[in-house]
Amino acid sequence: MASAQTLDRPARNTIARPPRESHASWPLADRLCHALCWATGIGLCLVTAWIVLYMLVKGISALNLKLFVESPAPSLRERESGGFLDPLIGTFIITAIGMAFAAPAGVGIATWLTEYARPRWLARAVESGIETLAGVPSIVLALFGLLVFARGFFSFLSGSTNGGAVSGKSFLAAGLLMSVLALPLIVGTTREALTQLPSRMREASFALGKTRATTIRRVLLPSIRPGIASGVVLGMGRIIGDTAIIVVVLGASPKLQGAGGAPLLSTLRGSGSTLTSYVYGFSPAGEGNSPQKAYAAAFVLLMIVLALNGVVTRLSRGRSLDTIEQGAKP
Amino acid sequence: MPPPIRRIVVDRHPHMAKPAPAGNGAGVANGGVAIATSLAAPSVAERTARAPAASVRERMHVESLWLAYGENWVVRDVTLPVRQGEVLALIGASGSGKTTLLRSLNRLTEITDSAARAGRITLDGQDIHELEVTELRRRVSMVFQQPNPFPMSIFDNVGYALAERPDGRRRRRRRSAAIEHAVHDALHRAGLHDEVGEDLERSALRLSGGQQQRLCIARALAAEPEVLLLDEPCSALDPISTATIEELIVGLRERVAVVIVTHNLQQAQRVADHVAFMHLGELVEYGPADQVFERPARQRTRDYVSGAFG
């Protein structure tokens, strides 16, 4: 440090830098591809900016605080159709239920796959099962859920009519399906993080007389906390953004409609909506015919998802800084 | 350069020096050894000045041990004593089975699926394969070639070895005075306490390489092991850190039996009381350090310590 202050830097015009490579010398095909790369990159930025700005302008002009505190009302006139308090709450409920199942299950599966994976055939089966789940379209999952949860055995999940028919539509049912949707993401990021841990960390723990279970609980999982967190946040984004499962398995009622019984349980077993189904229902595509409110809700939805993306980026950046630091030490 | 594949004529009986009478440990052959060392670490380099350990007694015994990975026998019929009060150095070229032998002493070889074994290893007369593996590893602790601190605070790194007792009592967060004391004691013994001071909440990853390795030694010492295994502990470190750790190793032998694997012959000369020379899985020569280095009984040993191969 001290020497940097006493020494004079060379004058700017005496510093030699390698000359920039000239594209003119490239073959025509290379120059075309190069230009194409630029064009697609800039195009992508433009499209993103367009979407965000469009929603921003449309959304902000329609946005007001009252929307956040009023429940939706069944009215064809935009002025009287209320706000989106219920869908907002619905989004939170669905995300919470989905994560309550997906996070522990996902971390558990990932840990078993990387640290135990015996017997081999079972590990392979679990692996391809997860891959299959990751590829299932959510509408297929929704349809499956509707069929399964409408069976009498699952009547505790949703309300039933007096005749005994189970509706199969509830926050619990939709949340469970959502957890299936988020599971592959959490398993993926957790596995990735676990496999990146150096094996000497495990050896160090074994050499101290610790069991595999203790090693996982006390050393491995705490070390990959950022990895797990970014998996959870990715999964949350997936859940918040999904529409198909909501429309099919949660029902079309914009308001929270309890299924009767104890207050909280009634809501969980009941029907309702989330921001995605609200946007769908109130947009020109749906029946609500309140496009302004749909724009406002879509804007809120977009902001939530963008914020989650920001969190993922921060988490993964923090993690990579950590590993660099760790790797830099001899 | 791998050693030339010249099969040594092995008579199945490696040259074993008569064990030094107890209480006289390293003292026997300490007379007038002049060792040219490249490192300036006078306190360890001048073995003449080193007092022999107060008492030497056998803790572990390796009896006709064979170890294989798959079909490949990497340790062949090795018989060795490991004594408390002295440092045993395992030397030999790469691939001679030193590290495998070392890892078998606390059954770390078992992590590898293909590992196979024949023969017997005892700890205080008891077969280590009859002991609970976690208990064995608490009694026979290990430090690795690469410093491998856990990504937690200095305190938690050392406390990790203690925090969970076999009876499953959990003492996380709540730091009993006993743990606090044990952690500080271990850091003192590893010579790290003065450097890290009282700020034990710092991340262990922020320490230098040499400090990290001493932290790993502190971690290994915290559970009060009876045997300490060191697998080339200084190969990733600079000369100054190396000298510090060598000094530390010599100081530790009073309370624990120390086994060190090293490629560095000068290091073996500086720290070891007894040396075992291995070649292609076989124990060629075992004896007091000075004898192995100055008057080796076998031609192969003579070649190796004089730098003819390896």
Within-domain flag for B39: no
Confidence of residue A314 (pLDDT cuts 50, 70, 90): confident
Nearest to A200 among B148, B205, B208 (CB): B148
Q: Which residues of B touch A200 (CB under 8 A)?
A: 144, 146, 148
Total domains, chain B: 1
Q: Which residues of B touch A117 (CB under 8 A)?
A: none
pLDDT higher than 90, residue A69? no
A201 to B142: CB separation less than 8 angstroms, yes or no:
no
Confidence of residue B113 (pLDDT cuts 50, 70, 90): confident
pLDDT in tens, B146-188: 899 998 889 989 988 886 554 444 444 556 778 888 889 899 8
A252 touching chain B per CB within 8 A: no
Q: Which residues of B touch A330 (CB under 8 A)?
A: 147, 209, 236-237
CATH number of the CATH domain containing B73 = 3.40.50.300
A206 to B151: CB separation less than 8 angstroms, yes or no:
no
Between residues 175 and 234 of chain A, which touch chain B (CB distance below 8 Å)?
198, 200-201, 203-211, 214, 218-219, 222-223
pLDDT higher than 50, residue A324? no
B142 touching chain A per CB within 8 A: yes
pLDDT of residue B308: 59
pLDDT higher than 70, residue B29? no
CB atoms within 10 A of CB A255: 17
* Model confidence pTM above 0.80: no
Between residues 194 and 213 of chain B, which touch chain A (CB distance below 8 Å)?
205-209, 212
Q: Which residue of A has its CA nearest to B132?
A: A209
Within-domain flag for B154: yes
Q: What is the mean pLDDT of residues A299-328?
A: 72
pLDDT in tens, B76-87: 999 999 999 899
Confidence of residue A14 (pLDDT cuts 50, 70, 90): confident
Contact criterion met (CB below 8 Å) for B54 and B84: no
Q: Can you tell me the distance from the alpha carbon of B272 to that of B230, in angstroms, rounded to the nearest whole number?
A: 12
pLDDT higher than 60, residue A31? yes
Which of A35-44, A96-105, A197-206 is predicted least confidently? A197-206
Confidence of residue A93 (pLDDT cuts 50, 70, 90): very high
Confidence of residue B49 (pLDDT cuts 50, 70, 90): very low
Within-domain flag for B5: no
pLDDT of residue A174: 92
Q: Which residues of A touch B106 (CB under 8 A)?
A: 207
Within-domain flag for B6: no
Confidence of residue A163 (pLDDT cuts 50, 70, 90): low
pLDDT higher than 90, residue B52? no
Q: Which residues of B touch A329 (CB under 8 A)?
A: 147, 205, 207-209, 212
Residue among B148, B152, B164, B234 with most chain A CBs within 10 A, to mutate: B148
pLDDT of residue B51: 59
A201 to B164: CB separation less than 8 angstroms, yes or no:
no
pLDDT higher than 90, residue A83? no
pLDDT higher than 70, residue A64? yes
Within-domain flag for B174: yes
Within-domain flag for B242: yes
Q: Which residue of A has its CA nearest to B223?
A: A208
Confidence of residue A177 (pLDDT cuts 50, 70, 90): very high
Within-domain flag for B172: yes
Q: Omega of the bond prior to A119 within 30 degrees of 0, cis?
A: yes
A330 to B164: CB separation less than 8 angstroms, yes or no:
no
Three-class SS string for chain A? Answer: CHHHHHCCCCCHHHCCCCCCCCHHHCCHHHHHHHHHHHHHHHHHHHHHHHHHHHHHHHHHHHCCCHHHHCCECCCCCHHHCECCHHHHHHHHHHHHHHHHHHHHHHHHHHHHHHHHCCCHHHHHHHHHHHHHHHHCCHHHHHHHHHHHHCCHHHCCCCCECCCCCECCCCHHHHHHHHHHHHHHHHHHHHHHHHHHCCHHHHHHHHHCCCCHHHHHHHHHHHHCHHHHHHHHHHHHHHHHHCCHHHHHHHCCCCCCECCCCCHHHHHHHCECCCHHHHHHHHCCCCCCCCHHHHHHHHHHHHHHHHHHHHHHHHHHHHHHHHHHHHHHCC
Checking ipTM against 0.85, whether it exceeds it is: no
Query: Which domain range does residue B163 map to?
Result: 52-305
B147 to A330: CB separation less than 8 angstroms, yes or no:
yes
In chain B, what is the straight-line distance between the N-terminal and C-terminal CA atoms, in Å? 7
Number of A:B CB contacts under 8 A?
Answer: 77
pLDDT higher than 60, residue A319? no
Within-domain flag for B14: no
Which of A95-104, A193-202, A255-264, A267-276 is predicted least confidently? A255-264
A200 to B108: CB separation less than 8 angstroms, yes or no:
no
pLDDT of residue A187: 96
Rounded alpha-carbon distances, angstroms, from residue B198 to B108, B187, B193, B195 = 34, 11, 8, 9
